[in-house]
């Protein structure tokens, strides 16, 4: 009982004893909950700060570093950097830059490739090509989709608002004259880099390709380059050789005009040509530059150089005569004349009657070594030294012999370019100075500094006489123009086909200078495989190439400020 009582009374006592300890526990709990809440708020705030900080940091990073494709975009802009304008000698524009837009994509930003292709193809149907899908799925930072789109195409694509699709403003080369001077000016690739003609020369000379890669040239003005071409003369030459090509049904034609005192190329045209605004045309083999990049057996125009060689050697004079009867045999080979006179001919007669036999005998009197040395002096054993990259190496016999010397005297067995032929005529018309041809403007003083005396002045005078004589009473009479005295030499060469000379395929030319009493310009016209007109029945150079030169001179002489003269005495021939 006492024990029960004791326990009974302890209960309340225990309760009274424990009650004061429960109140602080509940307060502590409330304080802990509040602290935990504050912690959760702080954690949430820190989370938001971290998230937005990361976003802000990424934006700053992107702003400073740029997206991964930034370097690629920069490289694309460098690749289409500006180029200097090309002008003719009178300031007419031959080539210039215009602005154009190009379409690119950032595949990593493309949300839906199929949707992007569907939208783009509504403006550019070729966007359905498998290659486009491959590009857009590549995950690359930058890819070209289409270069040089039109303003309307850009506007319509821009309105589509496709993420990851953009435009770059680039420089595109434009040639106002189209094919007028295509083989001289050349063309560029899609990145505005010169790959042919003077365009390529300028890139190489100025090291533009390397500068473009380094970004040094971008957005920097470049001084226009003035060429030696006279666009008016270029138009006439191209027009007249095109007319002759059509009239005589030739497969190709070449026309060249050179200044005999400076070596400047005033005009050069090779047909068929191409439009540099559509450079893919240049890949067609028929459109090659025959003027400098093709070599041909030039035929009897080589009697010009054979005569100069013989006269300059001192072993032959204008008063000498050679036997042109019968023929000239070398083993199984026999040299004969076309419409031969079958008599002894003087040196001037050999020239105006275009005697193969007489020319060969003159060459043999000088000797194979003398001929080789002379042809080397006037450039027939090396590439033309000029700015145009497209130049061919001549072909000539590597072994000296009398038979090769004889055939080369009338242009067989040696192949050179038409520009070689025209350039080698310069010293024969200007007093003996060899001046390398140039496609840039050059003064007489600059030309004199480059000139090399290759023949005696008196040899030059004799060659002017022979040109004049042939223009008045020889095969070049159809090239004469009243008041301008066009002198020159015809060449009718049979072309080689399957290793043999084909009598029905000719390479005709007329090599001329005017005014022949005081030559200022060399003119060369070439017709490849001309056909005979029905009413004439023959297709020799005197009937087609010579009249072509006359048509050219008649139109360009006034443009070049060459005054006509009608008070000059005709050339006379003293024959045996």
Q: Can you give the pLDDT of all 576 residues of the chain as single tens digits?
A: 444 343 434 444 444 434 444 444 555 555 555 556 666 656 566 666 666 665 555 444 444 444 444 444 444 444 467 889 999 999 999 999 988 888 999 999 898 999 999 999 999 999 999 999 999 988 888 999 998 888 999 999 999 999 999 998 888 899 999 999 999 999 999 888 899 999 999 988 877 666 555 555 544 557 999 999 999 999 999 999 999 999 999 999 999 999 999 999 999 999 999 999 999 999 999 999 999 999 999 999 999 999 999 999 999 999 999 999 988 988 778 899 988 899 999 999 999 999 999 999 999 999 999 999 999 999 999 999 999 999 999 999 999 999 999 999 999 999 999 999 999 999 999 999 999 999 999 999 999 999 999 999 999 999 999 999 999 999 999 999 999 999 999 999 999 888 888 888 999 999 999 999 999 999 999 999 999 998 777 889 999 999 999 999 999 999 999 999 998 888 888 654
> φ, ψ for residue 283 (rounded to 5)?
-80, -15
Look up tokens 């990424």; give the residue.
Answer: 58
Q: Give the separation between CA 467 and CA 473, rounded to whole angstroms.
A: 10
Closest CA to 463 of 504, 423, 519, 418: 519
Residue 413 · residue 335 · CB < 8 Å: no
CB 430 within 8 A of CB 519: yes
Report the C-alpha gap between 194 and 406 in whole angstroms: 43
Distance of CA 69 to the CA centre of its chain: 33
Q: Look at residues 352, 534, 501, 485 and name the one whose alpha carbon lies nearest to residue 413.
A: 501
Strands 333-335 and 487-497: unpaired
The answer to whether the CB of 560 falls within 8 A of the CB of 521 is yes
CA distance linking residue 236 with residue 317, whole number of Å: 39
Q: Nearest 5°: phi and psi at 335? A: -100, 130
- Cα separation, 566 vs 568, in Å, equals 6
Neighbours of 437 (CB within 10 A): 27
Q: Nearest 5°: phi and psi at 292?
A: -125, -25
What is the predicted pLDDT for the residue at 499?
82
Intra-chain end-to-end CA distance of the chain, in Å: 181
Contacts of residue 433, defined as CB under 8 A and 6 or more positions apart, other chains included, come to 426, 427, 448, 451, 452, 453, 454
Q: Using CB atoms within 10 A of its CB, is residue 158 exposed (0-12), middle (13-18) or buried (19+)? A: middle
pTM attached to this predicted model? 0.81
CB 145 within 8 A of CB 162: no
In angstroms, the CA 562 to CA 557 distance is 5
- DSSP assignment of 137-161 equals TS--S-EEEEEEE-HHHHHHHHHH-
Asked if 231 contacts 535 with a C-beta cutoff of 8 angstroms, the reply is no
Q: Are strands 500-514 and 487-497 parallel, antiparallel or unpaired?
A: antiparallel
Catalytic residues: 300
Query: What are the structure tokens assigned to 42, written together?
Result: 């702080």
Please, what is the angle between helix 368-377 and helix 303-313, to 10°? 110
Q: How many residues does the chain have?
A: 576
Which residues, other chains included, contact 183 with Cβ-Cβ below 8 Å and sequence gap of 6+? Answer: 197, 268, 269, 270, 273, 289, 291, 292, 390
Query: Domain 83-226's class?
Result: alpha beta
- Assigned CATH for 233-559: 3.40.710.10
C-alpha dihedral, 219 to 223 to 225 to 230, nearest 10°: 110
CA torsion sign for 455, 456, 457, 460 is negative
Q: Which two tokens stand for residue 43?
A: 């954690």
Long-range CB contact pairs, 14-23, < 8 A, 24+: none
Q: Report d(CA 103, CA 265) in Å as an integer.
A: 41
Whether residue 127 contacts residue 120, with contact meaning beta carbons closer than 8 Å, is answered with yes
In this predicted structure, what is the pLDDT of residue 537?
Answer: 72
């Amino acid at each position: 009982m006492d024990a029960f009582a004791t326990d009974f009374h302890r209960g309340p006592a225990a309760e009274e004893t424990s009650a004061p300890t429960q109140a602080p526990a509940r307060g502590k709990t409330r304080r802990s909950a509040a602290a935990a809440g504050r912690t959760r708020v702080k954690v949430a705030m820190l989370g938001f700060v971290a998230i937005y900080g990361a976003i802000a940091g990424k934006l700053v990073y992107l702003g400073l570093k740029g997206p991964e494709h930034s370097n690629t975009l920069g490289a694309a802009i460098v690749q289409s950097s500006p180029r200097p304008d090309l002008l003719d000698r009178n300031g007419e524009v031959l080539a210039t830059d215009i602005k154009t837009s190009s379409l690119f994509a950032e595949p990593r930003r493309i949300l839906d490739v199929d949707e992007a292709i569907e939208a783009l193809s509504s403006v550019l149907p070729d966007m359905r090509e498998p290659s486009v899908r491959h590009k857009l799925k590549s995950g690359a930072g930058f890819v070209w989709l289409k270069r040089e789109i039109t303003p309307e195409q850009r506007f319509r694509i821009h309105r589509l608002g496709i993420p990851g699709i953009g435009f770059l403003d680039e420089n595109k080369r434009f040639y106002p004259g189209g094919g007028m001077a295509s083989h001289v000016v050349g063309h560029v690739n899609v990145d505005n880099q010169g790959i042919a003609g003077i365009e390529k020369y300028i890139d190489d000379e100025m090291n533009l390709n390397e500068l473009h890669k380094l970004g040094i040239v971008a957005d920097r003005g470049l001084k226009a380059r003035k060429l030696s071409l006279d666009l008016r003369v270029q138009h006439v030459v191209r027009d007249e050789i095109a007319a002759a090509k059509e009239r005589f049904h030739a497969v190709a034609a070449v026309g060249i005009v050179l200044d005999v005192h400076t070596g400047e190329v005033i005009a050069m045209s090779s047909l068929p040509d191409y439009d540099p605004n559509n450079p893919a045309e240049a890949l067609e083999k028929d459109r090659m530059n025959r003027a400098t990049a093709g070599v041909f057996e030039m035929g009897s125009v080589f009697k010009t150089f054979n005569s100069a060689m013989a006269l300059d050697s001192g072993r032959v004079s204008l008063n000498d005569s050679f036997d042109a009867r019968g023929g000239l045999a070398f083993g199984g080979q026999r040299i004969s004349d076309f419409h031969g006179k079958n008599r002894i001919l003087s040196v001037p007669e050999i020239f105006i009657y275009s005697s193969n036999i007489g020319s060969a005998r003159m060459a043999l009197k000088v000797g194979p070594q003398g001929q080789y040395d002379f042809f080397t002096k006037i450039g027939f054993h090396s590439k033309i030294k000029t700015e145009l990259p497209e130049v061919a190496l001549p072909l000539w016999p590597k072994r000296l012999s009398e038979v090769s010397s004889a055939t080369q005297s009338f242009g067989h067995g040696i192949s050179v370019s038409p520009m070689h032929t025209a350039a080698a005529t310069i010293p024969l018309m200007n007093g003996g100075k060899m001046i390398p041809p140039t496609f840039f403007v050059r003064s007489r003083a600059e030309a004199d500094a480059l000139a090399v005396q290759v023949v005696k002045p008196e040899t030059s005078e004799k060659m002017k006489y022979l040109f004049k004589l042939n223009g008045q009473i020889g095969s070049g009479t159809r090239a004469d123009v009243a008041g301008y005295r066009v002198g020159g030499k015809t060449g009718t060469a049979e072309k080689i086909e399957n290793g043999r000379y084909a009598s029905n395929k000719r390479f005709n030319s007329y090599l001329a200078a005017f005014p022949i009493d005081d030559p200022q310009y060399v003119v060369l016209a070439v017709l490849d495989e001309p056909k005979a007109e029905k009413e004439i029945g023959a297709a020799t150079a005197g009937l087609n190439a010579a009249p072509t030169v006359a048509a050219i001179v008649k139109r360009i002489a006034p443009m070049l400020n060459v005054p006509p003269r009608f008070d000059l005495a005709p050339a006379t021939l003293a024959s045996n």
